[in-house]
A = this chain, B = another copy of it.
Amino acid sequence: MKIAVVGTGLIGQAWAIVFARGGHEVRMWDGHPDAITKAIPLIAEQLDDLKQAGLIDEPAATLLARIKGYQTLEEALAGVEYVQESLPELVDVKKEIFARMDKIVGPDTVLASSTSSIPASAFTEVLPGRARCVIAHPVNPPCLVPVVEICGAPWTDAKTVQKTWDVQQSTGQKPVKINKELEGFILNRLQGALLREAFRLVEQGYVDAEGLDVTVREGLGLRWSFMGPFETIDLNAPGGIADYAKRYGPMYESISKEQTSTEPWSDKVIGQLEAERRQYLSADKLLERRTWRDRRLMGLAAHKKAAEKDIGK
């Protein structure tokens, strides 16, 4: 399949890798004419890293050959069945690019946006082709973190959602269908619920930031990295998830009564967290630590691939 990647920043580059890895022909375009010239060598570097980590089966050069840049949007979109847009997170930017794309491509081409914060209804309502517009929200970088949240506007056609799901699935990504528009989609709503309690526990002096992080990275987060929260509790009571709800529901109900705050995170706790984090990692080391994070993510992806093969999904 021919796929266009619109926007060649970090997310766009990772999308190009994802689609090329899935065997597709990738046509890239960016509003800044020199952006594409810069993007291709960066993609080549990342392909080499992924190859070395065992996360690409074919030679890196084979994948790179599937990725090409174009100078005009019209050229990039010629003959494509699917477009993944990853321009800046501004509703006016999305409105403009979707209006332009909607005029260029045929009616069966899906127009998907990577936006994490703007619902599809905010920038597609007036378009003649609004039924083929949808959100396909990745986690950065999508070549290492496979989930893709698919969420349409009220007028998005079910076929558009299904085609987006099929395209993502065909590349090895893990698509999730969201049935109705909602702020933050699923991932950030779950993250927000946990963060709110985390901020509260630190603010009220129960635990420090490092203690809380240890609780998750050496405990709670381990099972979630290969099962998810529902399978985790399904296996955590002899009779499955309904049995779990019976045994532990009252405890969680009781706790929930202290988890109802809707105040903004206070300046006090933000300052406290910033100060504690900077003890572990000075501001000038943030960039270096992000490289570490991506190397750990790459190692984890390779581990999961092997574990699914050896032990099972």
Contacts and interface: CB of A to CB of B under 8 A. Distances in A.
A278 B189 contact: no
Given A182-B206, A212-B228, A218-B147, A192 B255 contact: yes
Per DSSP, chain A at the interface is: helix
Given A183-B254, A211-B176, A214-B176, A265 B245 contact: yes
Interface residues of A, number: 104
B251 A261 contact: no
A259 B297 contact: no
Interface centre among A145, A177, A188, A211, by most chain B C-beta atoms within 10 angstroms, is A211
A209 interface: yes
Interface in A130-188: 139, 145-147, 149, 174, 176-180, 182-184, 186-188
Given A235-B290, A249-B265, A191 B229 contact: yes
A239 B287 CA distance: 10
B196 A189 contact: no
A214 B249 contact: no
A241 B264 CA distance: 15
A241 B223 CA distance: 25
A201 interface: yes
A59 interface: no
B259 A253 contact: no
A52 interface: no
A125 to B, nearest CB: 21
A223 to B, nearest CB: 7
Nearest to A184: B255
A17 to B, nearest CB: 17
Nearest to A209: B230
Interface in A204-227: 205-207, 209-227
Contacts of A103: none
A238 B140 CA distance: 14
Interface in A34-67: none
Interface string A271-302: 10110011011010010011011011101100
B193 A180 contact: no
Given A186-B206, A241-B274, A264 B255 contact: no
Contacts of A213: 227-231
18 contacts: A139-B220, A145-B219, A176-B212, A183-B255, A186-B211, A186-B212, A190-B197, A210-B230, A217-B231, A220-B224, A223-B293, A227-B293, A231-B280, A235-B289, A242-B270, A253-B264, A256-B262, A299-B307
The 6 closest A-B pairs by CB, nearest first: A213-B228, A147-B219, A221-B224, A225-B225, A174-B218, A193-B197
